[in-house]
Amino acid sequence: MHLHDDAVQLPNGRQVRAVSFDATSPYGRTEQPDYGLYLDPHWQPPWPHDHLQWPDFGVPDDLGLLHKALTELLDRAGHGELVEMGCLGGHGRTGTALACAAILAGEKADSAVRWVRSSYCSAAIETAAQERFIERFAAFALRS
């Protein structure tokens, strides 16, 4: 498995770092982020951060919480903060969250999975349930 520490530019120009958990040096960074959103409890960084409950290879239970967390992340990025998000491997949960963030940043729901796989990692978004979740998130975001 490969590790991620990648700057991803969203469709609206905002940038998010997508990271994997590197057990040998999880918090070693050239530049420490201002804020992190983490999708796995292994993450306990020394910088300001939040966690979302999200089972490995699964999807989160609460669309509203994800929407709120991603909106805050994007707002911080829009104000010039260095922000990052990650799970363990940086593929399933991170890829799914990136697709949802891309939707909030203007990507069309029907192309969000392709966008993540071409803009970030071809192995991103690991399950059919995660792909269906992205569609549900897009519908929720339109109503919010």
Mean pLDDT per 10-residue run, the chain (144 residues)?
93 97 94 97 97 96 97 98 97 98 97 97 97 97 91
The whole-number pLDDT of residue 144 equals: 84
| Cα–Cα nearest to 123, from 23, 25, 1 | 1
Coil, helix or strand at residue 89: coil
Q: Structure tokens of 82?
A: 């260095």
Burial tier of 21 (Cβ tally within 10 Å: 0-12, 13-18, 19+): middle
Q: What does DSSP assign to residue 48? A: S
DSSP label of 86:
E
Domains by residue range for the chain, with CATH: 5-143 (3.90.190.10)
Beta-sheet strand order (sheet of 83-86): 5-9, 15-19, 83-86, 35-38, 49-51
- State the pLDDT at residue 134: 98
